[in-house]
Each structure stands twice: as structure tokens, then as C-alpha cells.
């Protein structure tokens, strides 16, 4: 008995699960699924799929912004020319509107599984038609296109004409 050492009477810790990296991720380390080359899709709103949505395209003379919402109006994804690294006069081009619409559509498809949209277009900018085409080419089925540009019925006096 003198040879034996007393061991403390504590319960043994449970064995770690086989996928311990997935169970308890280490800060700064990549999860096993992403390290293996698989891309995890994150779903908005607790994993709910939103198959239909509304695309709001606002094309002004200086910028183009695209917002994609669910039918109730909650924003799913958005993008603008400034967010896509266009600065100055390049923000008002049709190419910038194409890039903006493609980015917003890609994130809406990836995050919420959106398949079909209704499009509301507002403003006189040059990116109206190119943004609509970009949304169609990104894989979203367009069910309706509506122009919601506000038209004054002799309201405020417009700014004076430019003399260049």
C-alpha cells in the first residue's frame, strides 16, 4: 500500500468528440468544412428561404443603387456604385449599374435562395436598363417591371437649366 499513490476521486472528463474542431471552433482558425474547400452558405433570418423578392433600382444622374428586399420590405442585400469601388463620374455609368446589380443579386441568391423578383425602377439615370439586364443574367426570374419615378403635377419649381 505504500507504493500506491492516492488519486483524487473526481469524475473522469468525457471523451472529446471526433469532430472537436467543428464542435468548438478555435478563434482565428478556419472551420474544417471551409478548409476542405467547401463553402458554407449562411442563411438570413434563422435559415429561412425567401424564394420571391422585390428589387428596387434607384438610378440617378450621379449614382445607381440596388436594394433587394423580401415581399414585406425587409432588406436582404444591397449595393451601390460607391460600394463597388467606383468613384466620381464613373459611378453614373451603365457599366457601374451592371456591376452593382450583379453583386446585389449574387448575395441575395447565396444568402436567401431567392429565385424570382419583381423590379421597381426609379430615376432618370443611365443605369436603368443595364441593371435590369444584369439581374436577369444573374439567374433571377423577373416577374414584373414597374417604373415608380415620381412625376410632379406642377409641384416645386425645377432648377434652372445649365449653361455649359
For the chain, the structural domain boundaries read: 52-147
Fold of 52-147: Nucleotidyltransferase; domain 5 (3.30.420)
- Residue 96 backbone phi and psi in degrees, to 5: -60, -40
pTM of the model: 0.68
Is the Cβ–Cβ distance between 121 and 94 less than 8 Å? no
Per DSSP, the three-state class of 142 is: strand
pLDDT per residue rounded down to tens, the chain (164 residues):
555 555 556 555 555 555 544 455 555 444 444 444 454 455 545 557 899 999 999 999 999 999 999 999 999 999 999 999 999 999 999 999 999 999 999 999 999 999 999 999 999 999 999 999 999 999 999 999 999 999 989 999 989 999 98
Provide CB contacts within 8 A for 79, sequence distance 6+. Answer: 65, 66, 100, 101, 103, 104, 107
Amino acid at each position: 500500500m505504500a507504493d500506491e499513490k492516492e488519486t483524487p476521486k473526481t469524475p473522469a472528463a468525457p471523451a472529446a468528440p471526433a469532430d472537436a474542431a467543428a464542435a468548438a471552433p478555435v478563434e482565428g482558425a478556419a472551420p474544417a468544412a471551409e478548409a476542405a474547400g467547401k463553402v458554407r452558405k449562411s442563411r438570413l433570418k434563422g435559415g429561412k428561404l425567401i424564394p420571391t423578392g422585390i428589387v428596387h433600382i434607384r438610378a440617378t444622374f450621379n449614382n445607381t443603387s440596388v436594394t433587394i428586399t423580401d415581399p414585406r420590405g425587409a432588406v436582404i442585400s444591397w449595393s451601390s456604385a460607391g460600394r463597388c469601388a467606383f468613384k466620381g463620374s464613373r459611378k453614373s455609368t451603365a457599366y457601374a449599374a451592371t456591376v452593382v446589380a450583379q453583386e446585389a443579386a449574387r448575395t441575395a441568391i447565396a444568402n436567401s435562395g431567392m429565385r424570382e423578383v419583381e423590379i421597381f425602377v426609379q430615376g432618370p439615370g443611365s443605369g436603368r436598363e443595364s441593371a435590369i439586364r444584369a439581374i436577369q443574367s444573374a439567374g433571377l426570374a423577373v416577374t414584373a417591371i414597374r417604373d415608380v419615378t415620381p412625376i410632379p403635377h406642377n409641384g416645386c419649381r425645377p432648377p434652372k437649366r445649365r449653361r455649359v
